[in-house]
Amino acid sequence: MNYRKDIEKCIKFIEEHIKENITIEEVANQSGYSLYHFCRVFSLCKGVSVMEYIRGRRLALAAIELYKGRKIIDIAVDYGFETSSGFAKAFRKAFGYSPTQYIVRMAGYTDAKTPFEIGGYIMNPIIVKKSAFKVAGYGIKTNITGVTYTKDIASFWSNYNGENLESKMYRILNPAKHGEVGLCVPLSEDGNAIYLLGIIVDDFSKVEENMLTVEVPEAEYAVFTTTPVDTTNDKEQNEFAKIIAGTWKYIFEDWFKDSGYVYDESKFDFEFYDERCHHRQDTVMDIYVPIKKVKY
């Protein structure tokens, strides 16, 4: 399955209709995937939700228009903003400057520079069959199609660390083994989902009212272990997060296309964090991707 090609097809559609009021359903239709699966793959490949990507592209193209000298109000209308003040607020949030300040700062430049991505880790997964298991822990309800999806997850992680929910979870549930499972569980076809960070338990008898639970079905997985990074210094945690994001991107943009497998949408993918990812010089974690053989 060539996920890179399918996502690029959707991005081409976005670029061709960027000034129109395109819907997330229209974009997803270009891929042939279900709405939920498309949004999940897109966010893992690009690091943002579909609507965040569209908004970011509109603002990036608007910045080029500003550089060329077009009027702010005309640009705002072209890119779907009802007022110039609304456009200015979004622009400042994205770039740190108001449109007017941006024009002044760019006045001395003779050529535009565009950002580029550095991605991909070459790695070979192991293929395993894993029995069904139960997960309990803490999480949030979100919508994977929404513009705030990635921010919701980041906010949850911040709260999880800030309130030391990990220690609380282990104390209450007292599992047989150490290891946290992070997974996104679809609730409906329109993108509603639960993001859960929990631990594997034998049953749900110790689960408290404010916890969430999920039963993960038996599946065949491609298991990817991230490249090692030193996280003995807290500042390096950001590097670890980038490596995880880069690994997800590699899986869908590179590995799948020549693997002989497709993503099994009837199962759940998940991240697994154990003793190997706690302030070590060789910190790693595992990504479990449900797969099935391509049928020709």
Residue 144 has φ and ψ, to the nearest 5°, of: -70, -15
The reported pLDDT for the residue numbered 113 is: 36
Architecture of domain 126-293: Alpha-Beta Barrel (3.20)
Which residues, at least 6 apart from 84, have a Cβ–Cβ distance to it below 8 Å? 72, 73, 76
> Average pLDDT for residues 9-22, to the nearest whole number?
91
Delimiting residues of CATH 3.20.80.10 domain(s) in the chain = 126-293
Residue 169's pLDDT band (cuts 50, 70, 90)? very high
Q: If you ran DSSP here, which 8-state letter would residue 263 be given?
A: E
Q: Please state which of the ranges 51-60, 61-70, 82-91 shows the lowest mean pLDDT.
A: 61-70
Does the structure show a pLDDT above 50 at 117?
no
Decide which of 256 and 2 is more confident: 256
Indicate the angle between helix axes 99-106 and 50-67, nearest 10 degrees.
Answer: 50
Delimiting residues of CATH 1.10.10.60 domain(s) in the chain = 3-106
Q: What is the CATH number of domain 3-106?
A: 1.10.10.60
Is residue 235 a contact partner of residue 294, using CB atoms and an 8 Å limit? Answer: no
Closest CA to 285 of 255, 248, 258, 254: 248
Quick one: tokens of 55?
Answer: 């908004």
The reported pLDDT for the residue numbered 134 is: 96
User: What does the alpha-carbon distance between residue 157 and residue 40 come to, in Å, rounded to a whole number?
Assistant: 18
User: What does the alpha-carbon distance between residue 30 and residue 5 come to, in Å, rounded to a whole number?
Assistant: 11
